[in-house]
Amino acid sequence: MKITKLLGVAATAALATGALVTGTPAAASSDTLLNQEMVPALQRDLGLTAGQALARIQSETAAGALEESLASALAGSFGGASYNEATGKLRVGVTDAAKLGQVLASGAEAELVRFSETQLDSTVDKLNAGERAADGAITGWGVDTKTNRVTLNVLPGKSGVVDSYLEKTGVDKTAVSVVETTSAPTLKYDVRGGDAYYINNSSRCSIGFSVNGGFLTAGHCGPGTVTGSNRVAMGSFARASFPGNDYGHVRVNSNWVPRGIINNGTRVSGSSEASTGASVCKSGSTTGWTCGTVGAKNQTVRYAEGTVYGMTATNVRSQAGDSGGSFIAGNQAQGMLSGGNSSVTYFFPVRPALSATGTSLVLG
């Protein structure tokens, strides 16, 4: 295909919070979760067992309800709250010592603090109002209920620019804690099958499938540097194999996160090969989502630019700019769109491309 030129939440939890336990609590189960993938993700990223993950969800749900209740009851003396993962309880700050007992009686932990939540929010509002005057080394700010301060983040070695900004905004400096951050924040963009990308700012193709560190696409789209559909720098071709084959591997930079999905929300669950005659769909940046059936396999296709071997024919509709786009059967990745004519569209199978590039699919 010729590339286009620039054209449940957890079930109701008990009201009291408590420390995490090893076993699965009777009141919670994975069936009560709206997102069934939450428990294994918590296990992986927080180092919990399945039982601990379920107990934590239940405990945090109760803590959230308790925080809302206490924030209302304590009114102007409420100094913010945070979840204490060590004890499984809500930790509540109060500015009035006379109300510590009220917090303890609710089952939460209590701490006497200097600033109320209202005061801290007001500090943030003042910093927001003067945002345009902030030096570029200041990367952000916000309320930290654990320290009962507004944390202001600044790049390493640049703390000296903070005082003048705080003076301009008129905030209480004692309410602000300055923290050096490792680097400036950047936006994150999803890598999704079917989305457009641009090569050397002059040609457009389509993403095939996300792999570790990047994505697969058509080899004839490369080589070169790549920008996303939003024209943000994306990365560059690590490999572009064409003719003979027609696969390409693009490595993306840290602004982009490969996702195991097609841009219409279809999840990619594997790469089992569909049979001839089976239904198959394609997502490309020109014609979008189109479907048909798998035709003959192991096809040799002779383009004017060179011959490609081992391709699969389909009757799926496609146009210029769809090159590299995702072919998927059910939730199984099939290949990346190569080319065709008005009646046949060919894709290069994903499995040999994965093998040749030493990559693996990102699954959704």
Phi and psi at residue 229, to the nearest 5°: -65, -25
Q: Which of 241, 323, 326, 338 is catalytic?
A: 323
* Distance in angstroms (rounded) separating the CA atoms of residues 190 and 265: 12
Count, residues in the chain: 364
- Spatial distance between the Cα atoms of 284 and 301, rounded to a whole number of angstroms: 20
Q: Which of 246, 271, 283, 322 is catalytic?
A: 246
Query: Cα separation of 35 and 293, whole Å?
Result: 33
Q: Give the three-state DSSP class for 68.
A: helix
- In contact, 331 and 269? CB cutoff 8 Å: yes
Residue whose structure tokens are 């979008």: 288
Kindly state the tokens that stand for 311.
């391709």
Closest CA to 96 of 109, 83, 106, 110: 110
Q: Reduced to 3 states, what is the DSSP secondary structure of residue 29?
A: coil
Report how far residue 310's alpha carbon sits from residue 92's, in angstroms, rounded to the nearest whole number.
65
Spatial separation of the C-alpha atoms in residues 32 and 341, rounded to whole Å:
50
Q: Where are the alpha helices (DSSP H) in 78-148?
A: 100-105, 117-129
Give CA–CA dist 121/293, Å, rounded. Answer: 58
Measured CA to CA, the distance from residue 71 to residue 80 in angstroms comes to 8
In the three-class reduction of DSSP (H, G, I as helix; E, B as strand; rest coil), residue 75 is classed as: helix
Pair 151, 115: CB distance under 8 Å: no
Cα distances from 245 to residues 27, 197, 217, in angstroms, run: 56, 21, 12
Question: φ and ψ at 290, to 5 degrees?
Answer: -130, 150
Catalytic hit among 195, 210, 220, 338 = 220
Catalytic, 220? Answer yes
**Does the annotation mark 246 as catalytic?**
yes
Determine whether 283 is an active site residue.
no
Active site (catalytic) residues = 220, 246, 323
